[in-house]
């Protein structure tokens, strides 16, 4: 990822750091100790309804929070847990062994997956002082949704694993599915960026998909679904979780330090991003196939997720937008001099907010976008005045006939203005011979991780002799 595309994130506050020893101890007890409750556990039926269900788990959580240490609830009383108390050990044992549920399964559908994170992140309880329930992220039973819940759930290894039971959970609670915002299709963006909307920019040349928020809204979770599976196999760094350092192999809670990918297993048409502390602008990489049309994207893509402190991606009533970045600015079906001249004018006069001209996904409109149009979209080089794919004597003759060289009048691409400054002068010739290859195109291509880079020869003496011979001298 380039510097322009570095993910912006918020570091884990020091006061939220938790020691993993107690949590890891409870996990070890639950997964390795003898199991005092039988497969049909009458002792664990706390409400006496004849079945071990979710209501019994909530009673156990209430007992743990009250701290009364009623021995009836000490269901994991083993040689590793000799004191009569109700704590993490009992909750973990009850969930895994009796209820057959994964910690983290907020919607009680049997699996711990990205939909659970969208639910709890939309609820807006993460690292907030107000009380949370299982459905809003309190998976370890301490009454709040914070870092310790993520550590607890991920360390138990249930993320995207198969369900632990084949039947629905007994006694589904009323808060099984709190109000959430459903997946939504994208809307085509206008020419000027809407500051209230989250924007997805797609390049049909590279397949790159990027996210930008003019108002710096922080996205905390995201699922992108392609109904017809136009997603590529490329998943680094998009399909990953940026979670606290207590979780193994994730150092310092920083996104770029993450070495673990959390893909949605069995769902190849989806990609998942979890960043509990939020990101604003982020390059998701070439996650989509190239050459997808606007209509295909609008019909095929569905997005769902959450923002900080809570709510869905369509906050402020704004449906997420799609920028389609293809370089055909006048929509005539061709990439020609009219498009490159229009781009050059926007670069010179625009304030940079018209992001339909942002071709390299850096959320700016500048000379880099002109270079991208020439090299990646039109697949030619500076100096190719007639845009026939090569820089040769025909281009020099064309510019000579235009009569704009070293004259203080406006010049376009076909006149020799190849650097976009509205003039044809020595700077354009230098750019053409340094960035192109006279009479030799296409140039040798060097493939980088995100874009095409051109390897071209330096101008030799023969090239300069041509220029001296054909270019008129400046008038005194």
pLDDT at 455 over 60: no
Burial of 15-28, coded b for 16+ CB within 10 Å and e otherwise, reads: eeebebeebeebbe
pLDDT at 3 over 80: no
Confidence at residue 446, expressed as pLDDT on a 0 to 100 scale? 33
Confidence at residue 33, expressed as pLDDT on a 0 to 100 scale? 38
Q: 437 or 32, which is more confident?
A: 437
Confidence at residue 27, expressed as pLDDT on a 0 to 100 scale? 44
pLDDT at 423 over 80: yes
Q: For residue 476, how many other CB atoms are within 10 A of its CB?
A: 3
pLDDT at 29 over 50: no
- Cβ contact 229:135 at 8 Å: no
pLDDT at 95 over 80: yes
- Residue 119 CB-half CA count within 13 A: 23
Confidence at residue 77, expressed as pLDDT on a 0 to 100 scale? 61
Window from 74-78, 335-339, 366-370 with minimum mean pLDDT: 74-78
pLDDT at 454 over 50: no
Q: Over range 28-33, report the average pLDDT.
A: 41
Q: Write out pLDDT tens, residues 345-393.
A: 999 987 666 777 888 877 788 999 999 999 888 889 999 999 988 888 8
pLDDT band for position 439 (50/70/90)?
Answer: low
pLDDT band for position 337 (50/70/90)?
Answer: very high
Alpha helices (H) along 72-146:
88-93, 114-123
Burial of 280-295, coded b for 16+ CB within 10 Å and e otherwise, reads: bbbbbbbbbeeebeee
Rounded CA-CA distance 156/97 in Å is 13
pLDDT band for position 417 (50/70/90)?
Answer: very high
Here the tokens at position 252 are 């310092």
Confidence at residue 40, expressed as pLDDT on a 0 to 100 scale? 43
Confidence at residue 42, expressed as pLDDT on a 0 to 100 scale? 58
DSSP for 180-227, please give it. -PPPB--EE--SS--TTSEEEEE-TTT--EEEEETT-PPEEEEEEEET
Q: Is 214 left (phi over 0), alpha (psi -120 to 50) or beta?
A: alpha
Which of 123, 257, 367 is CA-nearest to residue 134? 123
Confidence at residue 172, expressed as pLDDT on a 0 to 100 scale? 72
Confidence at residue 41, expressed as pLDDT on a 0 to 100 scale? 54
Confidence at residue 389, expressed as pLDDT on a 0 to 100 scale? 86
Which of 353, 423, 413, 420 is CA-nearest to residue 385? 413
Helix axes 147-155, 21-32, angle to 10 degrees: 30
Q: Write out pLDDT tens, residues 242-284.
A: 444 444 443 333 344 333 334 444 467 888 888 777 877 777 7
- Cβ contact 107:119 at 8 Å: yes
Window from 71-80, 186-195, 377-386, 452-461 with minimum mean pLDDT: 452-461
pLDDT at 20 over 60: no
Confidence at residue 425, expressed as pLDDT on a 0 to 100 scale? 92
- Label residue 473 exposed, middle or buried (CB < 10 Å: 0-12, 13-18, 19+): exposed
The mean predicted confidence, pLDDT, of the chain is 74
Confidence at residue 267, expressed as pLDDT on a 0 to 100 scale? 65
Q: 56 or 2, which is more confident?
A: 56
Q: Write out pLDDT tens, residues 128-161.
A: 988 999 999 999 999 999 888 888 888 888 877 8
Q: Write out pLDDT tens, residues 300-333.
A: 999 999 988 888 887 666 788 888 888 888 877 7
Q: Write out pLDDT tens, residues 54-69.
A: 989 999 999 888 877 7
User: What are the CA-CA distances from residue 219 to residues 9, 89, 248 (Å)?
Assistant: 10, 33, 23
pLDDT at 461 over 50: no
pLDDT at 32 over 60: no
Burial of 345-375, coded b for 16+ CB within 10 Å and e otherwise, reads: ebbeeeeeeebbbbbbbbbbbeeebbbbbbb
Confidence at residue 460, expressed as pLDDT on a 0 to 100 scale? 47
Q: Write out pLDDT tens, residues 192-228.
A: 556 667 888 888 888 888 887 767 788 888 889 999 9
């Amino acid at each position: 990822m380039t510097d322009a595309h570095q993910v912006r994130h918020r570091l884990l506050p020091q006061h939220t750091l938790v020691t993993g020893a107690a949590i890891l101890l409870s996990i070890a007890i639950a997964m390795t100790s003898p199991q005092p409750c039988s497969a049909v556990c009458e002792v664990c039926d706390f409400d006496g309804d004849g079945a071990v269900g979710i209501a019994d788990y909530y009673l156990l959580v209430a007992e743990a929070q009250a701290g009364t240490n009623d021995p009836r609830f000490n269901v994991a009383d083993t040689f590793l847990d000799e004191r009569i108390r109700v704590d993490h050990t009992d909750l973990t044992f009850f969930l895994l062994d009796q209820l057959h549920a994964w910690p983290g399964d907020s919607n009680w559908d049997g699996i711990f997956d990205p939909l659970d994170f969208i639910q709890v992140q939309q609820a807006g309880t993460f690292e907030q002082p107000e009380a949370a329930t299982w459905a809003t992220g309190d998976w370890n039973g301490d009454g709040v949704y914070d870092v310790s819940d993520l550590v607890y759930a991920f360390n138990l290894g249930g993320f995207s694993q198969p369900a632990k039971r084949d039947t629905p959970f007994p006694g589904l609670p009323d808060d099984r599915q709190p109000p959430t915002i459903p997946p939504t299709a994208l809307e085509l963006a206008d020419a000027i960026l809407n500051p209230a909307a989250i924007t997805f920019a797609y390049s049909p040349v590279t397949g790159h998909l990027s996210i930008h928020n003019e108002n710096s809204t922080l996205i905390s979770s995201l699922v992108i679904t392609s109904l017809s599976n136009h997603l590529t196999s490329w998943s680094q760094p998009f399909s990953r979780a940026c979670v606290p350092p207590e979780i193994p192999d994730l150092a310092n809670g920083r996104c770029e330090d993450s070495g673990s990918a959390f893909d949605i297993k069995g769902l190849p048409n989806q990609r998942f991003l979890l960043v509990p502390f939020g990101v604003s602008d982020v390059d998701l990489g070439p996650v989509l196939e190239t050459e997808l049309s606007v209509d295909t994207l609008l019909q095929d893509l569905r997005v769902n997720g959450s923002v900080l402190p809570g709510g869905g991606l369509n906050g402020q009533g704004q449906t997420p937008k799609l920028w389609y970045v293809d370089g055909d600015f006048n929509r005539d079906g061709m990439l020609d001099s009219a498009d490159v001249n229009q781009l050059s004018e926007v670069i010179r006069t625009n304030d940079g907010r018209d992001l339909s001209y942002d071709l390299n996904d850096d959320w700016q409109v500048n000379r880099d976008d002109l270079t991208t149009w020439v090299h990646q979209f039109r697949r030619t080089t500076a100096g190719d005045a007639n845009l026939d794919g090569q820089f040769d004597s025909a281009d020099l003759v064309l510019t000579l006939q235009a009569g704009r060289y070293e004259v203080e009048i406006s010049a376009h691409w076909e006149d020799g203005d190849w650097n976009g400054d509205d003039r044809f002068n020595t700077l354009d010739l230098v750019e053409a011979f340094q960035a192109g290859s006279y009479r030799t195109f296409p140039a040798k291509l060097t493939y980088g991780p995100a874009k095409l880079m051109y390897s071209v020869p330096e101008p030799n003496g023969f090239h300069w002799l041509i220029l001296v011979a054909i270019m008129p001298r400046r008038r005194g």
